[in-house]
């Protein structure tokens, strides 16, 4: 059996373990779980550290369980949050759970024999568990002093914490007890900010059943500049293509700083240690080629979206940064087109003018202000410095309906790097 702890250690994914965890994992096939918060209808790249922990766990021969927190999601984990979170209704949570389940299935093998992954929902065992029964059967085993000693609670003492969120660790702790008792789960894993909640579970198992269970945490990932991993200027990077296009997803990984790329590829790739060390050495010889970033971006985009979507992202990158052609541009769907040229100046043009054949000087210097004057536009056209849909044009060019991309857009390029998007009214 592969040494899971050693695998995490060299990948930089091990933060802390309870004594005896490594010995347990070497002795037998272990069932372990990680909980996922269903307060959004998509996982984000920030969740991928825990997803990959389950992936490496399964590849080491153990049985991973992903817990969707249908019950705990109705409360909200206070761990290191500065404010009380909004509570979601049951219908929204169920929708979110189904969406996340589909995304998890792209990483975990749910049909591979003894160590097949499983998906559970803690709403199933909490929906009929009455409040009075819970505080009698569970609450009496954990003291308020014990709960207040947790860092996740201490950090909220100044701003205030409701009883609802205060009770979260007890509910998560009961999850571990339930899975230990009914599913044979001996290990809970999570981010380092979950240590307090996880150990409440091991304590409940000890006090309620004189049982033994274990905990393992991974470090929280931050960028080299201190910024939060998984965030961009436009917000979260999601696995759902409707929220973050495959092109934007690919670019997120491709644009990783060199200082981050070495750590990222160890965490988010399933390549072997030898393959990754060879890539790191290759990258060190020619950092400008960004071999680490390309290898990671291609692997993770294929896994989350598909090989086809990766190829579209690569073509889109060629169009913007390389030697893309009009043919490539015409095969691009509207969502990808808009994500590639997000932020470039956009102008409207009437369909009637295209039907009649629009004069380029009028378009470039009057309707769009691509150039400040017709004189400058004329000089650039004569010097072959203007392209329509990646094809260079001259003074004689008239824009027409046939130039439309996706029946709505025309791409104007001035020089090598200045793009403008025309949109039909």
Q: What is the pLDDT along the chain (425 residues), one digit of tens a residue?
A: 789 999 999 999 999 999 999 999 999 999 999 999 888 899 999 999 999 999 999 999 999 999 988 887 666 555 544 444 456 777 888 888 889 989 999 999 998 889 999 999 998 998 888 888 888 888 887 777 777 776 667 666 667 777 777 778 888 899 999 999 999 999 999 999 899 889 999 999 999 999 999 999 999 998 888 887 887 767 889 999 999 999 999 999 999 999 899 999 999 999 999 999 999 999 999 999 999 999 999 999 999 999 999 998 998 888 887 778 898 889 888 888 888 888 889 999 888 889 888 999 999 998 888 999 999 999 999 999 999 999 999 989 999 999 999 999 999 999 888 999 999 88
Tally the C-alpha atoms within 13 A of residue 331's C-alpha that lie toward its C-beta: 13
Q: Say if 335 falls within a structural domain.
A: no
The reply to whether 121 and 147 lie within a common domain is yes
174 is in an annotated binding site: no
- Residue 167 CA to residue 39 CA, distance in Å, equals 18
The reply to whether 321 and 377 lie within a common domain is no
Which pLDDT score, from 0 to 100, does residue 336 have? Answer: 87
Which pLDDT score, from 0 to 100, does residue 412 have? Answer: 94
Q: Say if 165 falls within a structural domain.
A: yes
The reply to whether 213 and 235 lie within a common domain is no
172 is in an annotated binding site: yes
Q: Say if 123 falls within a structural domain.
A: yes
The reply to whether 266 and 301 lie within a common domain is yes
Write the DSSP string, 185-209: --EEEEEGGGHHHHHHHHHHHHHHH
Token pair for 230: 């998984």
Number of domain units in the chain: 3
Which pLDDT score, from 0 to 100, does residue 229 have? Answer: 86
Q: Say if 332 falls within a structural domain.
A: no
Q: Say if 247 falls within a structural domain.
A: yes
Which pLDDT score, from 0 to 100, does residue 232 have? Answer: 73
Token pair for 366: 């009057």
58 is in an annotated binding site: no
For residues 185 and 65, the answer to whether their CB atoms sit within 8 Å is yes
33 is in an annotated binding site: yes
The reply to whether 130 and 18 lie within a common domain is yes
The reply to whether 198 and 252 lie within a common domain is no
Which pLDDT score, from 0 to 100, does residue 80 have? Answer: 43
For residues 187 and 31, the answer to whether their CB atoms sit within 8 Å is yes
Paired strand residues for 422: 347, 410
For residue 263, the enclosing domain spans 231-327
- Residue 348 CA to residue 215 CA, distance in Å, equals 58
Q: Say if 56 falls within a structural domain.
A: yes
Cα 168 vs. chain centroid, distance in angstroms? Answer: 25
Which pLDDT score, from 0 to 100, does residue 82 have? Answer: 44
Sequence-ordered list of residues with C-beta below 8 angstroms from that of 148, at least 6 positions apart, any chain = 154
For residues 200 and 172, the answer to whether their CB atoms sit within 8 Å is yes
Kindly report the number of other CB atoms within 10 A of residue 114's CB atom: 8
The reply to whether 351 and 321 lie within a common domain is no
For residues 277 and 266, the answer to whether their CB atoms sit within 8 Å is no
- Residue 95 CA to residue 73 CA, distance in Å, equals 12
Q: Say if 266 falls within a structural domain.
A: yes
The reply to whether 214 and 264 lie within a common domain is no
Q: What is the CATH number of the domain that holds 100?
A: 3.40.50.620
Q: What is the CATH number of the domain that holds 389?
A: 3.10.290.10
The reply to whether 125 and 176 lie within a common domain is yes
The reply to whether 56 and 179 lie within a common domain is yes
The sign of the dihedral angle between the CA atoms of 149, 36, 2, 259 is negative
The reply to whether 201 and 249 lie within a common domain is no
What b/e sequence results for 289-320 when a residue is b if at least 16 CB atoms lie within 10 Å of its CB, and e otherwise? ebbbbbbbbbbbbbbbbeeebbebbbbbbebe
The reply to whether 295 and 180 lie within a common domain is no
Q: Say if 376 falls within a structural domain.
A: yes
| Local structure of residue 372 (DSSP, 8 states) | S
């Amino acid at each position: 059996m592969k040494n899971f702890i050693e695998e995490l250690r060299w990948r930089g994914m091990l933060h802390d373990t309870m004594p005896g965890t490594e010995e347990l994992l070497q002795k037998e096939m272990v069932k372990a779980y990680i909980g996922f918060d269903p307060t959004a209808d998509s996982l984000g790249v920030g969740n991928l550290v825990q997803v990959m922990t389950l992936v490496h766990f399964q590849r080491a021969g153990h049985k991973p369980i992903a817990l969707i927190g249908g019950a705990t999601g109705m409360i909200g984990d206070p761990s290191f949050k500065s404010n009380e979170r909004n509570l979601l209704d049951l219908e929204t949570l169920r929708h979110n759970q189904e969406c996340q389940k589909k995304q998890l299935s792209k990483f975990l093998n749910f049909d591979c024999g003894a160590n097949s992954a499983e998906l559970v929902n803690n709403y199933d065992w909490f929906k009929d568990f009455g409040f009075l029964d819970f505080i009698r059967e569970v609450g009496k085993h954990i003291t308020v002093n014990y709960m207040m000693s947790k860092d996740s609670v201490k950090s909220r003492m100044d701003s205030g914490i409701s009883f609802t969120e205060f009770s979260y660790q007890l509910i998560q702790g009961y999850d571990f007890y339930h899975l230990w008792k009914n599913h044979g789960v001996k290990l809970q894993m999570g981010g380092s900010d979950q240590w307090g909640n996880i150990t409440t579970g091991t304590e409940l198992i000890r006090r309620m059943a004189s049982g033994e269970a274990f905990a393992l945490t991974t470090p929280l990932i931050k960028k080299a500049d201190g910024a939060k991993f998984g965030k961009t200027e436009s917000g979260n990077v999601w696995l759902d293509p409707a929220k973050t296009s495959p092109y934007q997803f690919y670019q997120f990984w491709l644009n990783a700083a060199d200082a981050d790329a070495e750590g990222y590829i160890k965490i988010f790739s399933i390549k072997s240690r030898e393959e990754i060390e060879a890539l790191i050495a290759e990258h060190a010889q020619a950092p400008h080629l960004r071999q680490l970033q390309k290898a990671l971006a291609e692997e993770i985009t294929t896994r989350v979206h598909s090989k086809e979507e990766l190829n579209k992202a690569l073509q889109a990158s060629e169009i913007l940064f390389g030697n893309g052609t009009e043919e490539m541009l015409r095969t691009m769907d509207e969502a990808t087109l808009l994500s590639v040229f997000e932020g470039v100046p956009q102008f409207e043009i009437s369909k009637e003018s295209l039907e009649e054949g629009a004069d380029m000087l009028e378009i470039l210097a009057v309707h769009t202000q691509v150039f400040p004057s017709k004189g400058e536009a004329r000089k650039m056209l004569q010097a072959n410095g203007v392209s329509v849909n990646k094809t260079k044009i001259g003074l004689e060019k008239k824009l027409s309906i046939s130039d439309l991309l996706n029946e709505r857009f025309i791409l104007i390029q001035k020089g090598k790097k200045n793009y403008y998007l025309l949109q039909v009214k």
